[in-house]
């Protein structure tokens, strides 16, 4: 299977080399790897260029954008900068972060899953972070959710969901829409990916309302937003985050911000969320 990979990179000089080295070492090598140097002020460009000079399937493009790290829009806009120069000769399109180290069989295992199940729309492994001397699961989300750091999409699924949304919540709405269109999602617990920087470490204060805004734009409605905000704030051990999420939801509603999904898709998403919560309650 042909894997095309786009890696947005903002000031990732310390990690992007490790990410590229792990992709070079794959038992199934990718056909294309595009690294988008997104307004970096460190040596990211030089590091990537060094790899591009030695490996024909690696390419570097430079992108000028804001230096603010707002989750959602910045990274997806950079992704599209890279995606725009790709041809259509791929089976799987991946959006990877620039601070990951993949096991050598990572792409081969993903290809196996895609070949085995023709209705598989998205698949991935799991992110692990270093604590003391051990690599432990970065347990921020459900185990059936594919982290935004390591998304891999079958081409047909990628196009049917309308590709990626330039918004906070893009890595949740993509899965919800995939399920809406009948695609399946798979996470492989045997694939341990080293995540060198914990999620959200560089997010700035201006992003604090965006999670609640995303829940509004996905048409969760207030009750599901309230429950989701409580769960997420509890996982992150911060009641202030709960307040920010709810404030973001009402701010988006007041400003009449555009939704990410249609009314019909929103109804499906709400039903899916209620079903998931009821199943957990019954257990």
Q: Give me the pLDDT at residue 73, please.
A: 79
* Range scoring the smallest mean pLDDT among 38-42, 73-77, 136-140: 136-140
90, 3 Cβ separation under 8 angstroms? yes
* pTM, two decimal places: 0.90
* CA 178 centroid distance within chain: 14
- Range of lowest pLDDT (8-17, 35-44, 59-68, 141-150): 59-68
- State the pLDDT at residue 208: 76
What pLDDT does residue 140 have?
A: 66
Q: For all residues of the chain together, what is the average pLDDT? A: 91
Spatial distance between the Cα atoms of 193 and 52, rounded to a whole number of angstroms: 23
- Take residue 197 and report the two structure tokens written for it: 């920087």
- Which range among 47-61, 76-90, 203-217 shows the weakest confidence by mean pLDDT? 203-217
Residues 22, 18: Cα–Cα separation, whole Å: 6
* Per-residue pLDDT tens over the stretch 109-123: 999 999 999 999 999
In terms of phi and psi (left: phi > 0; alpha: psi -120 to 50; beta: otherwise), the region of 170 is alpha
Q: Is the pLDDT of residue 282 over 90?
A: no
CA pair distance 201, 126, nearest whole angstrom = 18
Average pLDDT of the segment spanning 134-152: 87
pLDDT at 142 over 80: no
> Rounded mean pLDDT of 180-189?
97
How far does Cα 215 stand from its chain's mean position?
16
User: For position 139, what pLDDT does the model report?
Assistant: 73
Percent of the chain with pLDDT over 90: 77
Q: What ranges do the domains of the chain cover? A: 3-195, 208-282
pLDDT band at 71 (very low <50, low <70, confident <90, very high): low
pLDDT higher than threshold 70 for residue 205: no
Whether the per-residue pLDDT at 203 is higher than 60: the answer is no
Q: Which of 20-24, 101-105, 200-204, 244-248 has the lowest mean pLDDT?
A: 200-204
Return the closest-CA partner of residue 11 out of 78, 91, 111, 105: 78
Beta-bridge mates of residue 280: none
Show the tokens assigned to 261. 């999904």
Ramachandran category for residue 264: left, alpha or beta (phi over 0 → left; psi -120 to 50 → alpha):
alpha
pLDDT tier, 232 (very low <50, low <70, confident <90, very high otherwise): confident
> What is the average per-residue pLDDT within 205-211?
74
Correct CATH for 3-195 of 1.10.10.10, 3.90.550.10, 3.20.20.80, 3.75.10.20: 3.90.550.10
Cβ-contact 161, 181 below 8 angstroms: yes
pLDDT on residue 201: 47
How far apart CA 79 and CA 9 sit, in angstroms, is 9
Whether the Cβ atoms of residue 262 and residue 177 lie closer than 8 Å to each other? no
Distance from CA of residue 269 to its chain's centroid? 19
| 147 within 8 A of 187, measured Cβ to Cβ | no
Check pLDDT > 70 for residue 5: yes
Q: Is 202 in contact with 139 (CB distance < 8 Å)?
A: no
pLDDT value of residue 283:
60
SS3 145: coil
């Amino acid at each position: 299977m042909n894997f095309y990979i786009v890696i947005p990179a903002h000031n990732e000089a310390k990690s992007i080399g490790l990410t590229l080295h792990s992709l070079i070492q794959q038992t199934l090598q990718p056909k294309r790897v595009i690294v988008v140097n997104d307004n970096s002020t460190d040596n990211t460009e030089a590091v990537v260029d060094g790899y591009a000079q030695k490996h024909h399937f690696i390419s570097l493009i430079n992108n000028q954008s804001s230096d603010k790290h707002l989750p959602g829009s910045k990274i997806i806009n950079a992704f599209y900068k890279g995606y725009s120069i790709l041809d259509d000769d791929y089976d799987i399109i991946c959006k990877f972060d620039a601070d990951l180290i993949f096991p050598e069989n990572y792409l081969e295992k993903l290809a196996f899953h895609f070949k085995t199940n023709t209705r598989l729309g998205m698949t991935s492994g799991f992110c692990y972070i270093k604590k003391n001397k051990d690599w432990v699961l970065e347990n921020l989300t459900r185990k059936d959710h594919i982290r935004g750091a390591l998304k891999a999409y079958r081409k047909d699924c990628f196009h049917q969901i309308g590709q990626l949304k330039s918004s906070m919540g893009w890595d949740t709405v993509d899965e919800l829409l995939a399920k809406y269109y009948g695609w399946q999602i798979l996470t492989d617990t045997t694939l341990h990916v080293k995540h060198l920087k914990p999620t959200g470490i560089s997010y700035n204060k201006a992003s604090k309302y965006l999670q609640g805004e995303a829940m509004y734009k996905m048409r969760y409605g207030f009750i599901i937003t309230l429950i989701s905000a409580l769960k997420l704030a509890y996982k992150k051990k911060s009641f202030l985050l709960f307040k920010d999420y709810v404030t973001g939801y009402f701010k988006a509603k007041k400003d009449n911000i555009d939704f990410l999904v249609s009314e019909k898709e929103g109804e499906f998403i709400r039903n899916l969320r209620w079903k998931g919560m009821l199943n957990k309650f019954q257990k």
